[in-house]
Amino acid sequence: MKKLIIDVDTGVDDAQAIMVALADPDVTVLGITCCFGNTPLQNVLKNTLRVLKVCNRLDIPVFRGCGKPLLAHKRHAGDYHGKDGLGDCPDPDAPGLELLQKKKAVTAMIKLAKQNPGEVTLVATAPLTNLAVAVQLDPSFPERLKALYIMGGNTDSRGNTTVCGEFNFVADPEAAYVVLDRYTCPTYIAPWEFSCRNSLPWSFCEKWLSQKTEKAAFMKNITNFTFQKAQSAEYDKETTEGKGFNSCDTYAMAAAIDDTFITESDEVAVTVELEGTYTRGMMVLDYMKMLDKKHKAFVMKNVDLEKLKKMFMNSLK
């Protein structure tokens, strides 16, 4: 049984990643911690509870995390996920925020890792602010983790938020720097360009959403806005080159769930640029070994898409 903590900024792809995890019988989600990102924190909290409701899993504890970056200017991704993060299709019967845990996200992360030393896999699909604060409060926190899976960063200086920067890292570059510097547990990164090259065909997405279930109806509703954006001429070349839908966060989740999902990766030391005019927030890969860092991350290059498709199909059954 895999024990997960999921750190999210619940937009459409976070919702997909959460639902994939909840559908796997060999996964236990110990808690979901929330951070600003795709949408303001209040929306992230509401969206997370909405996803758990449709999955009939409101028993999973949800924790309020950081509402702004360590130093950077706050930014969101409403142009792609909708202003509310879930396609601007509100649910009048959505769960209320009184269901949130009183304990804050960072405190909860640290406590859950202490209770399950060496057993917890942390899946981070949001800006890394909660993780950076956690290691500052408890420097031994990363040592108790089994592994860390991150969706974020980029490898080919191809941005989706700035010229050279991926959203999660650009949203809080200092936090990304701290995490990549101080988390020495096994670390796996699903970067932006990699996910673009492994998009899900539109024909599969149609089949995926055509399942006659409440979960499929929910997913079809929240993805409509994002699908239209992804299929528009504005996004085709910058994202998936017109091939299909890029559910960025779900690649990190799939890798955390199935050890065989990653078929090719580079093991390399990584860091984040904090200053450049065009490159602030860009992930730096040290192939020349000039950073003198002992800890290296596994940067995903290729995955088994058929396994991802099965996970997606099962998530809406």
Question: CB burial class (10 A; 0-12, 13-18, 19+) of residue 117?
Answer: exposed
Structure letter (DSSP) for residue 117: T
Q: Which residues of 220-248 are buried (b: 16+ CB within 10 A; e: fewer)?
A: bebbbbbbebbeeeebeeebbeeebbbbb
Structure tokens at 196: 């673009």
Separation in Å, CA 250 to CA 69, 114, 241? 23, 26, 19
Contact of 85 with 10, CB cutoff 8 Å: yes
Question: Which residues have CB under 8 Å from 81's CB, separation 6+?
Answer: 11, 12, 38, 39, 87, 225, 226
Contact of 59 with 29, CB cutoff 8 Å: no
Question: CB burial class (10 A; 0-12, 13-18, 19+) of residue 127?
Answer: buried
Cα angle 44, 229, 51; round to 5: 30
Q: How far is CA 291 from the centre of its chain?
A: 27
Concerning whether 9 is annotated as a catalytic residue, the answer is yes
Sign of the CA dihedral 190, 195, 199, 205? positive
Query: Cα separation of 175 and 167, whole Å?
Result: 13
138: left (phi over 0), alpha (psi -120 to 50) or beta: beta
Question: Among the options 9, 84, 138, 258, which is catalytic?
Answer: 9
Which residues are known to be catalytic?
9
